[in-house]
Structure 1
Amino acid sequence: MLSRWFALWGAFFLVLLVGEGVQAQAPDPKARIILGKAEFPINEYYTISFSLSGAPLERYSAFPDLEGFKKSGKSSTTTTRIVNGQSSSELTITQRYAAYDEGEFVVKPFTMTVNGLTVRSVGATLTVKPQPATASAPGTSATPVPAPAQEAPGIGLLDQLFGKPKPQEYVEPKDNAFLALVPDKTTIFTGEGVHVGLYFYLTPADQGLLAFHNFAGQLPDILRQLRQPTAWEESFNEQEIYPETVVAGGKTYLRYRLYEAEFYPLNAQPLVFPEVALQMIKYRIAKKPEAGLDNRLAGYKTYRTTARTIPVRVLPPHPLRDQVPVGNYQLREAIDRTAFRTGQPFTYSFIVEGRAT
């Protein structure tokens, strides 16, 4: 009987030891694609996200390019869940897209690779609606943004006890920000390319005073004004709006690249770039900051570029016009593709061959 008792206890301890050696297996990594809402006004972003759980993010492929939209920065969020004492995290990376115009657009099916996992989306049909009606646009000075008045219950009794709080006084600090249209050449020949960039400059000290306001809604009108009817325009692909440090006039600035393109004039008419405007949020600062309050008042300020004209010169006459060889020649042409998208470059080549007489 005693030997049987020890045998049972031995088996029990064996089960305990085996149980301690077993470790819970980590869940397999999972990834999925999340599309934003299909209907939205033009002043809001469309979003495409992917989420990853079960593993840290190592690498992922590029988000798709959408016709009619411009990529406008990414963001990331991490969500941690605890279930039955077990902790799990999910990382979400979101790409924002700004629509150039209103209308209906199609997001074609696409795939992405996240940590070696292939995830697919069936695409969607998007409807970009007009911007909702708002109050009249503010002028060039920083105008306070009104906030709805809210009165807390019992505020009258508090006022009687402590007196009404005095309204804060705000001052508008001077900023050193400016908007500039910068070409890389001051004069060009017909057919010669000129690079043009639209940049917003601000000093590091101005970062807390300024913020972008409805950039997606302002961009289509800015692009319309920069179009050149007498030039071929080759706009650059994806542009992330992020600051880069530059030095101008001996002063350090943060420069935001808002738009850039290469223009090739088709004739000798000058390229005329009018003054364009960008509205930003600018904060006023409380004259006497108080603890527990934001101590800032949001307003608007409009920045404008300087109008620019780039003269276009006619190509000089051929120096060997009277010595051009005459004979039987043949033109051979080639193109690298037959289907195109707006703004997508292609390669055209030609060869002239033959025998002079």
Structure 2
Amino acid sequence: MKLYVLIGIILCFSNISFSQEITDPVSIEIGTTELTLSEPFVISVVLKDAENRPPVIFPEIKGLEKRSKSATSTINTIDGVKIVVQTITQEYFATKPGQYQVPVFFVLINGVKYKGEETMVKFSLASTSAENEDTRTEDYLPDPELNGEDVFLSVQADRKDVYIREGFSLRISLYIAESAPVQMEFYQFNTQLQSILKQLRPANCWEENVGIEEIIKRQVKIKGKSYTEYNMYQAQFFPITLQDVIFPTVSLEMLVTENKAAVNVESTSTRPFRSKVSLIKVKPLPNHPLMDQVAVGKYSLVEKLSSALVYSGESVRYTFRIQGIGNIAAIPTPSIEVNSAFDFYPPEISREIKFSNSKVSGERSFNYFVVPRRDGTFPLSRYFQWIYFDPSTAKYDTLRASKVLQVKGEDYKLGNISLSGASGLYDNLESLDSTRKSFNFKVFFRNVTNAIIVMLIVAMIWVFRK
């Protein structure tokens, strides 16, 4: 009898367990393994349901040079539930063609190790010599002549002037010439870096940074001279006021070892290296009624209309997606004039933002639920327009809808909906009870199944004790 009861409990427990959704919040993904020398091999960490981006340290791979890191934040709303996915990607470049064995590796995420599988990566020569050149825009380099030393600390921006709300990149690196007759190592680096950032971060700027949890080392040539760059911080800044951005001089202390030939001993001491003051001039936008509200950047429009032909009273979905380069998180919602032809529900908003060393790019989507109230042909450009300022042309531009909606049938009248004035689906909205919370059936089902599992475990223990 006990055996039958035990088998029944185990089968029931198995069915309930498998019925619950099991998802791993962390996954490691490997990019393309057939590459040219100008292309990076990438390792990505994908984090689900992660509001904040944790510190991530990627492995060193023998024969490959670790370079840029990028991060993508995606936020979608599905059935009223916000879903957040963070993706952090590390690039690796090869200096010569060949096959590179990537052994089993570990990525350190918020102090916890996650395993990556072994793989083989092949790098081949590019089709043209020009393709081998590294033309990435983040590779803005300082002028050694302005620093006057073989070892210098650089706080370098990629722009000398920007418009208000236009982004610029900042990079903090220590450069050591290969011919420098000293040996160095970092001294209390984390403490010093936090102090440096506290001095440098401008109060009048919005900051977006990838996050560097380790010093990235690479070989560079500046005016024909070889240097080793130790990159310790990089970020994008967007001025939100018309004050010029000033980065003051900061100091980094290094442990320096020098050989004293006269007494045949080594002497180690700390030596400070100071950066130069740099200034970014912030320019006002040209006069415009919306000059204090518009986004600044390079943008384009992608549209989607669920159906081009509907009948009065039927619903249709319209997506107005703004994509491009700029401060994606600060893109304002398109304003729509209240009218008698349509009822527009507030949009579901989703976004995807990619943070790289040289720019912030991505998209912001506005998904509208639309109900037409009378027949006719309606170009959606009458209702959906979005104005922005393009710094590359120094002009204002407008993204206009190009879709056309054909509505057939009699004018739609239902209950409190009338075709006179601007009344519609939002009439009497203030009388609705907004304090009532929506019921999440998914969470309820999960809690019930967990309770049943606990009861089954208790029953199993009771059977064995009998």
Give the structure-1-normalised TM-score: 0.46
Q: Which has the larger radius of gyration?
A: 1
Give the structure-2-normalised TM-score: 0.36
Relative contact order (C-alpha < 8 Å, sep 6+): which is higher?
1
